[in-house]
Structure 1
Amino acid sequence: MLERLRDWSRWRLDVLDALWVLPMIAISVPQTGPGTVGDRPVALVLFSVALIVPLFWRRRAPLVVFTVIALVALAQWAADVGPMPADLAVLQAMFVVAKLRSFRWAVAAGLACVLGVFLAVLRWWTFETPDGPLTGPFVALSSIVAAAWLGGVYVNIRRRYLEGLEERARRAELERDQHARIAIAAERARIARELHDVIAHNLSVMVVQADGAGYALDHDKELARQAVQTIAGTGRQALGEMRRLLGVLREGESDGFAPQPGLDQLGDLVAQCRAVGLPVTLDVRGERRELPQGLELTIYRVVQEGLTNTLKHGGPGATASVELAYGDAEVSVSVSDDGRGAAARPDEPGHGLTGMRERVTMYGGAVSARPRPGGGFQVQARFPVHAR
């Protein structure tokens, strides 16, 4: 498909070049009749065609076309076939070189045109002018050459500038995508490590209870029954954890990691922030209930991320509050501060928020991070809670 588009673009440019060259020939040739410059109409027609036709390939080979047209113009000068409208082809060829090629070649083409103007004035302008015999025509024609040259150089600089902007934008987009992928991959790897501790704990409980049930089966059937019920409940909890995280985990080595924190460690987290100078209050509402360890870990991480953002962006004098509310059908947590809010945060890549959203979504929750109406910033997450 792309190849077809490129072919269509080249074909369209060829048509435009042809539509440009043919009218130039039609305009130039009829003006070359007997008595125009000398009495050699055939030479005038031949030189006009030789000057104009190469312009058809000016986009594909600007330097070659300019060289050919310059040589034809030099032959015209040597044959003493005077100036004619087709000589403007030299100017156009120089413009294309200045537009499409490097500055070095643009300077070379411009100097060649100025030299051609000097030779033309030297041979064909012999009348006197107020500024001298040759100064007036040379200055006038050189000014036209300079204007065309500057126009080509300007278009070249502008084109290269826009191409540079497009390239930088493309690279920036690629870098953003790469950073996002790296951040997501790192967060998934971290979740996988944390899952190891949660699931490993549940499986360890199941193994111990199974061993105990096997021993109690011959001595205390009621105790064995309780052990089996514990195994079933723990297994269902572990299965729920696996189902939530199965879609985002990657394979890899995952042993050797320390146990992860939960809601019982929120007080330690708040105390840690207070120790570094951030006034924080912790408010727990509702009746405490048992939550899956993975959900407790997620709530802990939400609070941790919110307080970390306050430390980074809240500014001096900021205070924060953490609210954990247990409802009948949901558990909500929010971290609010009265610092500078979002004004200092637009340049941040948002990796913490990306990981936070990923964690919360795995448990069917929703998270929001936004400036507060009265100033400051708030991170809030809600999780549905179902009876097991």
Structure 2
Amino acid sequence: MKTLARIWPRLAIWGPPVVLGGVGLFEIWVEPIFQPPPSFPGPVGVHTVGVLVLVAGLSVRRRAPGVALGAVLADLLLEWAYGPEVVSLPAFVGMLVAFYSVGAHRDLRGAALRLGAGLLVLLALDVVDVARGHGTVLDATGEYPFVLVVWGAGVAVRNMRLRASDLEDRVGLLARERDEKARAAAAQERTRIARELHDVVAHSVSTMVLQASGARQVLRSHTDEADDAMRSVELTGRQALRELRRMLGILRTDDRPSLDPQPGVADIELLVARMRDTGLPVELEVSGAPPGLAPGLDLTAYRIVQEALTNVLKHAGRVETSVRVTFDVDALDLLIHNSGPTPRPTSNGGDPGHGLIGMRERVALYDGSLRARPDDDGGGGFTVHARLPLEGERA
């Protein structure tokens, strides 16, 4: 079966001309030996040339169906010139194959023009035959139904082929669009995970470094304070590990969702307490009735406050800082302000603007607004003000 499927395209091209040519040459050269007189009246050499023309024309019927039709009609005219009473089987079948090829391999206009030209040739031969008394009108019109049927079949096959090709193109286009959407979704997910990892690592590591530094400074003089600082380092590290495991768990192949709760606005108070443990003097003010927030917005608000406080530690040091969380009717307002020096380069060479980019991306997801810039009074303070619309984001 596989072998047949492999050789079928060649058989479909060469089968008709080879078979019809073989039958025609058999009738010219072999059949008269056993059953005289010959089926082909006239010189055998002339009729041999006619059969070879038919074979050559049918061999190119797919690339040039008009040439194939012309070659078959030329052989038909040659036979008619020597014996108008009968048409050989190869010439009749070859004519039908040629008309089918015209319908199957040309556009409708070109196929119709070639059909009309071929019918005019046949009609002219039939008129001459009837005028000479070689047949009746009924006999003369007998081949036309066959011609019209095979030509129509060719047109139908071409239309089906075009529809199949169009469907393949559409399927290919849909597949490409699906792949592009999958790549875009994967890129968005990678960006989200990278943003989460940055928030977790930047905040936790910065906090742990500052706490460890403070503990080292008072290790010998104030052992109790050093012990509290190291305990805070341990607590911060454990929390960071939990969040890292949760984030990395998203990448597991079993796709099982993590059941650990995400931090939210309700956890900002605990966040502020941990920042106080690092030595950052920060005050928290919450106003308004907190509504139930959608998980994504809840996490975004927490991450904005977390990133802002982390940036204060990294770039301004232990300066007076305030966090104000306001629940308005239609929006959640976050204001983080610190007094003190302007942001300074980090000791580890970090980019002070990277965290702000993450905050802007989070706020943009909810059509919110973010303002992060130094204070206008020139005192060195810095303010982060985020406003997140609550419409459609309540739990």
Q: Scaled by the length of structure 2, what TM-score is found? A: 0.54
| 1:170 alignment counterpart | 172
- Using the alignment, how far apart are the partners of 2:263 and 2:239 within structure 1? 18
Q: CA deviation at 1:242?
A: 4.3
Matches within 5 A, 1:49-198: 49-73=52-76, 79-80=81-82, 82=84, 83-88=87-92, 89-126=94-131, 135-198=137-200
- Using the alignment, how far apart are the partners of 2:292 and 2:140 within structure 1? 84
More moved, 202-211 vs 32-41:
32-41
Percent of pairs with identical residues: 29
Q: CA deviation at 1:156?
A: 0.8
Change (3 A) 1:70 1:237: farther
The one-letter amino acid paired with 1:198 is V
- Contact 1:21–1:56 (Cα < 8 Å) also in 2: yes
Within the candidate set 292, 309, 314, 1:270 is matched to 292
RMSD over aligned CA atoms reads 4.0
Change (3 A) 1:152 1:28: same
Q: Structure 1, unaligned stretches of length 5 or more?
A: 250-259, 274-292, 298-388
Change (3 A) 1:11 1:63: farther
- Contact 1:29–1:45 (Cα < 8 Å) also in 2: yes
The one-letter amino acid paired with 2:194 is A
Change (3 A) 1:59 1:204: same
| 2:50 alignment counterpart | 47
Q: CA deviation at 1:157?
A: 0.8
- Contact 1:21–1:55 (Cα < 8 Å) also in 2: yes
Post-superposition Cα deviations, 1:329-364, rounded to whole Å, max 9, x if no partner, equal xxxxxxxxxxxxxxxxxxxxxxxxxxxxxxxxxxxx
- Using the alignment, how far apart are the partners of 1:269 and 1:163 within structure 2? 56
Change (3 A) 1:27 1:38: closer
Q: CA deviation at 1:189?
A: 1.1
Q: CA deviation at 1:30?
A: 4.0
Change (3 A) 1:136 1:202: same
- Using the alignment, how far apart are the partners of 2:147 and 2:177 within structure 1? 45
Q: CA deviation at 1:247?
A: 9.2
| 1:352 alignment counterpart | none
Q: Structure 2, unaligned stretches of length 5 or more?
A: 252-261, 268-288, 304-395
Q: CA deviation at 1:95?
A: 0.9
| 2:315 alignment counterpart | none
Post-superposition Cα deviations, 1:74-121, rounded to whole Å, max 9, x if no partner, equal 5655x5554322223132122123113322222122112212211221
Change (3 A) 1:271 1:222: closer
- Contact 1:24–1:86 (Cα < 8 Å) also in 2: yes
The one-letter amino acid paired with 1:13 is P
Within the candidate set 21, 26, 31, 2:17 is matched to 21
- Using the alignment, how far apart are the partners of 2:291 and 2:106 within structure 1? 63
- Using the alignment, how far apart are the partners of 1:263 and 1:39 within structure 2? 104
- For this pair of structures, how many residues does the alignment match? 258
- Using the alignment, how far apart are the partners of 1:174 and 1:10 within structure 2? 29
Matches within 5 A, 1:4-15: 12-15=8-11
Change (3 A) 1:246 1:70: farther
- Using the alignment, how far apart are the partners of 2:293 and 2:38 within structure 1? 103
Change (3 A) 1:239 1:55: same
The one-letter amino acid paired with 1:24 is L
- Contact 2:72–2:91 (Cα < 8 Å) also in 1: no
The one-letter amino acid paired with 1:86 is P
User: Helix, strand or coil: the match of 1:270?
Assistant: coil
- Contact 1:122–1:134 (Cα < 8 Å) also in 2: no
The one-letter amino acid paired with 2:68 is V
Post-superposition Cα deviations, 1:216-247, rounded to whole Å, max 9, x if no partner, equal 22431122122123223423443554466469
User: Helix, strand or coil: the match of 2:142?
Assistant: helix
- Using the alignment, how far apart are the partners of 2:38 and 2:75 within structure 1? 22
Post-superposition Cα deviations, 1:174-215, rounded to whole Å, max 9, x if no partner, equal 212221221121122123223322322212321331232133
- Using the alignment, how far apart are the partners of 1:166 and 1:246 within structure 2? 40
Q: Scaled by the length of structure 1, what TM-score is found? A: 0.54
- Using the alignment, how far apart are the partners of 1:269 and 1:125 within structure 2? 98
